[in-house]
Amino acid sequence: MRLIRTIERLNPYGTLAVTFLIIGVVTTFLPTEPLKDERFYFPLIKVFGESYLSPIHSIKTMNQSMGPLYFIFYGFIGQFTEYSITVLRNVNVFISFLTVVALFKILTKFSRHPLCLTLWFTINPYFLFLTTPLLYTDNLCMFFVLLGMYFYLVQRNIFVSGLLWALALWTRQTAIIIPLAALLTEFYISRGKISLKLFNLGMTTLPFLAFIILIVLWDFNLTSPNTVHKVNSISTFDFSLKKLTYAILLSGVYSAPLWLPRIREIMKHPALYIAVASTLLLFIDFPRVINKDGYLGVWTSGIFDKLLVWLDGFAFVLVPLIWIPSFAFFLLLAISTTKSRANLFSILTVLLFFMFQAIYTYSWDKYFILIIPALLIAGSGIINLPGNSVKSR
């Protein structure tokens, strides 16, 4: 606790800025040729850069499965920087910094340890070492997602949050779970208040209207019909219990700073018995080698999945040790769902993500960047544990 108090006394913006300044310096010394998925994205950035004043044709013919805004944005900047990949990468680093600042501003409203939790999100290896220094689409999307969450949860400005989430959807379609969670939240909160319901529901539909425009441009497809990644099409979706349990398990890992300090209280709560019983799901289809027999030939989901493979038989001990307290914690969060708008919105976001992960073509630990903020907000909320004081939000 002393370490936590020391961290919280630090200047939050300076602390976060130093982290990304270091990443920016490292990024400057990376090879100047496209790396990893940049090899797919960088050529399309140039295509959009050359047609940013009239991007409709480029949108219709783009060969990547994500939304066009990322390519429009970096293509526009590329016009003035001679498409210097180093400059574009450092722009991405700056956007990543603004993203975590938005998260900090949100957590300041809902948590007693906003800087610690923001740093926990920041040090996620996929965020800090992959999507921040390299030109991945995730961080621009997360910037719009978190800025939208700030206006929705803190400023209570549904119109602005809707516009920002529309931009997020035009960057990565998987962000649809965020405005959908908001729509369901407003439907519940506004029940019995017809005028308020009509206004709030109308504002929360803005992202979906923007998404419909994109679908129309793509000849009524959720991704560009010319994409080289056919694996992302709906026809490849299929329910997998292993992907679902892995999503819950990894979410438990990412929310560990919230449930570990409360482990004694959790162990005393009846929800623990349900969590113990739920371990049966683990052994029906053990959550390891998640993408086996999948479409990509990449069997593991990421770093944590590879760790479970490396641990071999010990994984059958470690997984239940994480699953039981974290699952009980999630149950307690579910009990507190309607305590506040923030709780309801955040928990719905997590549940929608679990549903999506259960049917999506393949699993990748990187995708969890999208819902870690919701986990941190929900976990900072009110749960039915002894000694928790009620905090109005």
Q: Convert the pLDDT of each residue in 193-228 to its tens digit.
A: 655 566 666 777 889 999 999 999 999 888 888 887
Q: Which amino acid is at 78?
A: G
72/126 same-domain check: yes
144/7 same-domain check: yes
Is residue 228 in some structural domain?
Answer: no
How many domains in the chain?
2
Q: What share of the chain is helix, strand, coil (3-state, %, to 5)?
A: 70, 0, 30
54/11 same-domain check: yes
Q: pLDDT at position 92, please?
A: 98
Q: pLDDT at position 392, please?
A: 37
278/346 same-domain check: yes
Tokens of 386: 């002894």
Q: pLDDT at position 4, please?
A: 87
Range of the domain at 298: 237-393
Is residue 225 in some structural domain?
Answer: no
Determine the average pLDDT of the residues in 47-52.
89
182/253 same-domain check: no
Tell which wins on pLDDT, 203 or 93. Answer: 93
328/241 same-domain check: yes
Q: Convert the pLDDT of each residue in 111-136 to its tens digit.
A: 999 999 999 999 999 999 999 999 99
Which of the listed residues 208, 227, 247 is the one where a domain comes to its end?
Answer: 208
Which of the listed residues 167, 192, 208 is the one where a domain comes to its end?
Answer: 208
Q: pLDDT at position 389, please?
A: 36
Is residue 110 in some structural domain?
Answer: yes
148/296 same-domain check: no
Q: Which amino acid is at 234?
A: I
264/199 same-domain check: no
pTM > 0.85: yes or no: yes
Is residue 220 in some structural domain?
Answer: no
280/374 same-domain check: yes
Q: What's the 3-state SS for the chain?
A: CHHHHHHHHCCHHHHHHHHHHHHHHHHHCCCCCCCCCHHHHHHHHHHHHCCCCCCHHHHHHCCCCCCCHHHHHHHHHHHHHCCCHHHHHHHHHHHHHHHHHHHHHHHHHHCCCHHHHHHHHHCCHHHHHHHCCCCCCHHHHHHHHHHHHHHHHHCCCHHHHHHHHHHHHCCCHHHHHHHHHHHHHHHHHCCCCHHHHHHHHHHHCHHHHHHHHHHHHCCCCCCCCCCCCHHHCHHHCCCCHHHHHHHHHHHHHHCHHHHHHHHHHHHHCCHHHHHHHHCHHHHHCCCCCCCCCCCCCCCCCCHHHHHHHHHHHHHHHHHHHHHHHHHHHHHHHHHCHHHCHHHHHHHHHHHHHHHHHHHCCCCCHHHHHHCHHHHHHHHCCCCCCCCCCCCCC
371: pLDDT strictly greater than 90: yes
53/159 same-domain check: yes
Is residue 285 in some structural domain?
Answer: yes
18/157 same-domain check: yes
Which of the listed residues 188, 208, 228 is the one where a domain comes to its end?
Answer: 208
Q: pLDDT at position 204, please?
A: 76
Q: Convert the pLDDT of each residue in 242-283 to its tens digit.
A: 999 999 999 999 999 999 999 999 999 999 999 999 999 998
Q: pLDDT at position 52, please?
A: 77
138/276 same-domain check: no
Determine the average pLDDT of the residues in 347-351.
95
385: pLDDT strictly greater than 80: no
Is residue 222 in some structural domain?
Answer: no
Is residue 202 in some structural domain?
Answer: yes
Q: pLDDT at position 196, please?
A: 58
Cα–Cα distances (Å) from 142 to 82, 148, 282, 323, 374, in that order, read 26, 9, 31, 27, 12
The model's confidence at residue 188, banded by pLDDT at 50, 70 and 90, is confident
Is residue 213 in some structural domain?
Answer: no
Q: Which residue has the tokens 């929800």?
A: 271
Residue 309: CB atoms within 10 Å:
13
Average pLDDT, the chain: 90
